[in-house]
Structure 1
Amino acid sequence: MIRVGIVGAGGWAGASHLPALAGLAGFEVTAVATTNQASADRAAAAHGVPHAFSGAGALAAHPDVDLVVVSVKVPEHATVIRAALEAGKHVLSEWPLGVDAAEADDLARSAAAAGVVHAVNLQGYRSPDARYVAELIAGGAIGRPESVVLVAAGDPLGGARIAPELAWSTDPAAGTSLLTVMAGHFLATLDRMAGRLVEVSARLPRRYDDVEVEGTGRTVPNGVPGQVLLHGVLESGATASVAVHGGSGTPDGFFVKFVGADGVLTVAPTRPGMFMHWTDWDIRVDGVRVRVPEDYRTVPFDPAAGPVANVAAVYEEIARSITEGRRPHPDFHTAAAHHRVLATIERAAETGATEKVCW
């Protein structure tokens, strides 16, 4: 039994991590921590968790915790992760791993030195749909890959308005933007399907110097992009074109098109309002729908329900890596590599030049 302590037990953790863990054998949530003891006590009582803490250090040090889950704002990730590593505990961090590539690299080195299992919740890597598309492409379903186009919505980030609980994300130093969060997830999922991006040119338009905080009548300065546009080359030699558009509402979907020498494979959502790393897909080869084999779906959750299924698949991978004494995939090194991709995109947008990606 893997005993789990969750730092940041509300919001996203309550919608994904806690229900995922509740439905998986081999895991038990034994502790939660929030910003104050009263809210931690409420979260523990709501989920039947025996221990509640007002700080990450106390949670990580507790003997009833084997795995620390980091589900707090990105600027707080490093502090919580280091507390877990100092306590010798396995750790799962939300994406982005850190506020920038330098911090992510440092955390990856520290985790490796600590000798614990370290994973990052880039759940698109564990998506059964992404895994199956990768096998179709590698197996020659469309012949030699020539190009891929990805278009996706990144709401609720990047628009003219921002929700009050996300108003802090308009500061670039916070590490949370349309580029780092949404494009980061989408590019990682593309990487799982088609391989690494090795060369890129980019634009990161920022349409608004100030954005409205919804329902408050006030605005906040905005220093992050509202659109992500890039062209590049994958390690296979295929070209890649990616557009991630921001907005202030519910995401209206995504579309991916792979063109090969012998055919076309497309990916689209099966229902509205879902990000590509959250849900199951409508996959078609030359217009004919292809079903993902049932043995690819290894967790007891319906992917129609949202992000829980793919988050649960990340936990399954962590359990296997602990049992087998190996690194999970994706781990902190994977996350640090994707941070370097994002840094390269930012550099390409600044210079206007085509930049090589250093993996």
Structure 2
Amino acid sequence: MAQKIGVGIIGVAPGRSWAAISHIPALRSLDDYEIVALSTTRMESARAAADEFGVDKAYDNHHDLVNDPAVDLVVVTVKVPHHRELVTAAIQAGKHVYCEWPLGNGLAEAEEMAALAEAKGVVAAVGMQARSAPVFRFLKDLIADGYVGEVLSLSLIGSGMNWGAAVDQPNAYTFDKANGATMLSIPFGHTMDALCQCVGEVKEVEAMLANRRTSAVLVPDNTPLDLTAEDQVLVNALFEGGAVGSIHYRGGVSRETNMLLEINGTEGDIVITGPGGHAQLFDLSISGGKGEDQAVAPMEVPAKYSWTAEAPALVQNVAQAYALLAGDIRSGTHDCPDFEEAVKRHRLLSAIEKSAASGTRTQV
């Protein structure tokens, strides 16, 4: 492999896309990577994106990008229903791949892609970058080092930000449950993945999913829009080691609490707060108290947990994931979450859906 890892990104809209505001600045903050190609479904938009970001090659189809010999790593940043087709093409071309979360539109697609990546021997990473956030890296070590003692319970409240009374056109597809990009899969999924890295995997769930809103409007012209993706997610969870958890995600934005995670243990307590329920997107604050402390107090996250350039969380968390991925590609490590990790998280979401449908406790 060349000194730099050649990256081809599928799905870059000039100015506004997730790739434009997150992946491209994250990749360019790291010496390991060079963005060598972009693709969209139209040459006009592909060329415009390439010109905006100073990338030489622009393609109007993903086939040319995944077969470009300069591309070592294919990055898939399009809508969830297209992940399977594009990831499969990249793997079949023998390329490493980084796919945004959710990996598939449901568990079966994720399992299929994970099996293919394993069979082809490529490095296949998934964008579960909340676990790379400095706050969660710090939290993981605090718990492992016994700051709270034995974890007894946790409570998590999160606002989905989306899935409320109104939505813009780029995010309108998330209101249709059939597309697999729901409040359950995106903000809940990202945050639960990071949480599970800190307190252990979920063993059993008892869940309720509800549509308190069944319609919304498309801004700016207020066109009516059906909301079939649930805007209320409530889960009682049993974690490895016996800790119990109560999790509630709700659509839209609250006037008060939009992200609150409280972990209670035999020796102490930790509280994490933020402006929204997407742990992968926002800068988070952490407080703690233990022993004789009568209340929690703000804690400073040590500098060692930020091993990439300082940036907004939506860039830094992705950059830290890419830094881990570079090591995986070059050295054969397994530090960046891979497709098998994605399957594990899809199984949790599937168990929640089964529990909600049956009204019974469900094993993960």
2:148 to 136, 142, 157: 142
> Do residues 246 (structure 1) and 251 (structure 2) align?
yes
Corresponding residue to 1:337 among 344, 348, 351 = 344
| 2:316 aligned residue | 309
Q: Which residue of 1 aligns with 2:23?
A: 17
Residue correspondence of structure 1 range 190-339 to structure 2 within 5 A: 190-247=195-252, 253-269=258-274, 272=275, 275-286=278-289, 287-302=296-311, 305-339=312-346
Distance 2:231 2:277 in 1: 19
Q: Which amino acid is the alignment partner of residue 178 of structure 2? A: A
Aligned equivalents of 1:55 and 1:294: distance in 2? 42
| Identical counterparts, % of pairs | 36
TM-score by length of 1: 0.94
User: What SS does the corresponding residue of 2:279 show, helix, strand or coil?
Assistant: coil
- 1:166 and 2:171 aligned: yes
1:147 Cα deviation (Å)? 0.2
Q: Larger deviation: 260-269 or 34-43?
A: 260-269
The residue that corresponds to 1:55 in the other structure is 61
The residue aligned with 2:97 is 91
Flag structure 1 segments of 5+ consecutive residues without an equivalent: none
Match of 1:187 among 184, 192, 214: 192
Which runs of structure 1 show a deviation greater than 4 angstroms over 4 or more consecutive aligned residues? 248-252
Q: Is the 8 A contact 1:264 1:285 kept in 2?
A: yes
CA–CA distance in structure 1, aligned partners of residues 188 and 363 of structure 2:
18
Aligned to 2:118: 112
For residues 128 and 9 of structure 1, the distance between their equivalents in structure 2, rounded to whole angstroms, comes to: 27
SS in structure 1 of the partner of residue 238 of structure 2: strand
| Stretch of structure 1 that moved more, 142-151 or 324-333 | 324-333
Q: Report if aligned partners of 1:141, 1:263 keep a CA contact under 8 Å in 2.
A: yes
Q: Structure 1 residue 208: deviation in Å?
A: 2.6
Q: CA RMSD in A?
A: 1.7
- How has the CA–CA distance of structure 1 residues 207 and 151 changed in structure 2, closer, same or farther, with 3 Å as cutoff? same
Change (3 A) 1:52 1:251: farther
- Tell me how far apart the structure 2 counterparts of residues 19 and 296 of structure 1 sit (CA, whole Å): 19
Tell me by how many angstroms 1:68 deviates.
0.3
Displacement after TM superposition at 1:273 (Å): 5.5
Check the 8 A contact 2:161/2:277 in 1, yes or no. no
**Conserved 8 A contact 1:142-1:261:** yes
Q: Which runs of 5+ in 2 are unaligned?
A: 290-295
Task: Label 1:171 to 1:264 Cα distance change in 2 as closer, same or farther (>3 A).
Answer: same
Alignment TM-score, normalising by the size of structure 2? 0.93
Shift of 1:329: 2.8
Aligned counterparts, 1:40-79, within 5 A: 40-79=46-85
- In 2, are the aligned partners of 1:251 and 1:274 still within 8 Å (CA)? no
Cα deviation, 1:210-266, whole Å, max 9, x if unaligned, reads 322222332223221001111111102100111111116999631111100111111
State the one-letter code of the partner of 2:299. Answer: V
